[in-house]
Amino acid sequence: MKIRKGDTVKILSGKDRGMRGKVMRVLAGESRILVEGVNVKKKHRRARRQDRKGEIVLMPAPIAASAAGVICPSCGQPTRVGYTWNGTGKKVRMCKKCRTTW
């Protein structure tokens, strides 16, 4: 999977299409990602003790990694990610649109 934790992504399909957010967690085995502020679900928590009330908690749910495009740091557009080797022989990620590495 070419999406990593900390990447900024744009949602390409689904109810949150067009939104941008930061990847909080990558579930590589399931090909899903958790994006900050995207696909937020409500979870109802009941009171466990008498002195605490029940509450509604907003929790992000994972989305398919294929529904998100990585935002290139230099051109600022959603792009596909490729790989190349820099001068020292280290493998780095590359923007397929503007051909810059990061």
Same domain, 83 and 67: no
Same domain, 66 and 91: no
Sequence-ordered list of residues with C-beta below 8 angstroms from that of 83, at least 6 positions apart, any chain = 91, 92, 93, 94
Same domain, 32 and 55: yes
pLDDT digits (tens, 9 = 90+) for 2-49: 999 999 999 999 999 999 999 999 999 999 999 999 999 999 999 999
**Does any domain span residue 3?**
no
Whether the per-residue pLDDT at 102 is higher than 90: the answer is no
Whole domain around residue 91: which residue ranges?
A: 75-102
Domain count, the chain: 2
Question: What pTM value is reported for the model?
Answer: 0.85
